[in-house]
Chain A
Amino acid sequence: MTTKNDRLIELCLTAGKLMLMYGAETYRVEDTMKRMAVAGGMRDVNSFVTTTGIFLSGMLDDDDDVMQMIRIVDRFQDLSKVTEVNHLSREFVSGSMTIQEARAELKRIEKQPMNYPLWLIYLASAVGGGAFSYLIGNSMFDMLPASIGGLVSTLALVLFQHYLQAKFFSEYLAAFFGGITALILVHSGFGTNLDQIIIGSVIPLVPGVPLTNSVRDLMAGDLISGLARGAEAALTSLSIAAGVATAVSLFIS
């Protein structure tokens, strides 16, 4: 086996895996992998990417056909890693980077922690929940309970996803706890506008990445991944709605 070609294929697959895992759209993953493979000297390159797997096939310079695939299980939302891999692929294609350097850089991106620390994300969901609730309800006083609710729902989401490892169920539970917090705050006299506070509490859970990527995939002609991501976004929205509905019906009865 020629080790250089092995390394090239591994490089392309790792780059594609990182981009798809952290929330890039299908068209971009396919295009990046294809450009990198062509720049590294492969011919007749074909890449096929769905939401859960990556296929790459091509012909090497010694007329050796290769075809490899990778299964993607986890999907996170970390767009800064997508940006970094995108930047790296541009440099690799333009020729200012060897395969070894690109591999070392990809390993660094794979290992590095999230762009923002977790406490900043908690803070951002509190601020975002409070600010978004003002846009809906126009009540300055209710921004504080809404931000408390947003903080609780994100805390619950991170906690349940870490311990339960169940995607839609943990979103359901997070929305449930956010809704319960909002209802308790309103019923104890701390806040007046119930709908504004509940919306602000659960808005940090909105599945923005699959929602937008679904539209982009469908428009780019990647119908399978577009529908798959749309289904993911719809299921997440339904679990959030069900969580809030459970909390509300507990308090109404």
Chain B
Amino acid sequence: MIWELIICGVATIAFAIIFNIPYQLLWMIGLIGITSWSVFSFLPVTGVGPVPAAAVAAFTSALISHWCARKKRVPVTTFTIPGIIPLVPGGRAYETMLAFVQGDYVEGLAQTAGTLLQAGAIAGGLAFALSIFSIGRGVGQRYETNR
């Protein structure tokens, strides 16, 4: 378990280097990656499916990223982009591709739905954290209540 967390931190820092993030921030990104991975791997133990787990993990990591970005006065994408990399549904995307290559279209469509749902859950988690941090600064919608 500890070993897995260390490897996850190393993976996140490696991706931060791939995205050319300033080196002073690398250790924080490693911690964010470890947090999101531990949420993502701990929630299924308690009986939550992988899709809600991905949403909660993305939400947690985005929340910490926003807080760190406020502290360090850097754009928040510096933290969120590598922070969600451990959640990317690589295994499911591979299963999807393999099913289509082998001509098993029904299985391929089922895996496509799973992959898209997990990607959408990550996006939803990100968007939710963003909404919390942009309360009062958002765009107008539907009714002009402040007149």
Contact = CB atoms under 8 A, between A and B. Distances in A.
5 contacts: A81-B20, A132-B90, A135-B7, A248-B97, A248-B98
B139 A212 contact: no
Interface string A94-135: 000000000000000000001110001100110110011011
Contacts of B97: 241, 244-245, 248
A68 interface: no
A216 B94 contact: no
B82 to A, nearest CB: 7
Contacts of B7: 131, 134-135
Contacts of B90: 132, 136, 199, 202-203, 206
B18 A209 contact: no
B88 to A, nearest CB: 6
A80 to B, nearest CB: 5
B17 A124 contact: yes
Contacts of A86: 74-75
B59 interface: no
Given A195-B91, A216-B77, A83 B22 contact: yes
Contacts of B11: 127-128, 131-132, 135
Q: 6 closest A-B pairs (Cβ-Cβ)? A: A128-B14, A131-B11, A124-B17, A221-B139, A78-B20, A124-B14
Contacts of B17: 116, 120-121, 124, 128
Given A131-B8, A215-B126, A244-B97, A208 B91 contact: no
A213 B14 CA distance: 20
Nearest to A25: B77
A124 B78 contact: no
B81 A212 contact: yes
A127 B20 contact: no
Interface of B: 4, 7-8, 10-11, 14-15, 17-23, 37, 73-75, 77-78, 80-82, 84-86, 88, 90-91, 93-98, 100-102, 123, 126-127, 130-131, 134, 138-139
Nearest to A124: B17
A208 B19 contact: yes
Interface residues on A, range: 35 or more
A125 B14 contact: yes
B118 to A, nearest CB: 13
B94 A128 contact: no
Given A77-B20, A206-B88, A244-B97, A127 B126 contact: no
B130 to A, nearest CB: 5
Interface in A64-106: 77-83, 86-87, 90
Contact of B4 (A135, A206, A209): A135
Contact of B94 (A198, A208, A221): A198
Nearest to A22: B20
A132 B86 contact: yes
A149 interface: no
Interface string A221-233: 1000000000000
Contact of A212 (B20, B37, B80): B80
A40 interface: no
Given A79-B21, A114-B20, A131-B7, A219 B131 contact: yes
A249 interface: yes
A124 B11 CA distance: 8
A79 B88 contact: no
A219 B85 CA distance: 20
A9 to B, nearest CB: 23
A83 B93 contact: no
Contacts of A135: 4, 7-8, 11, 37, 86
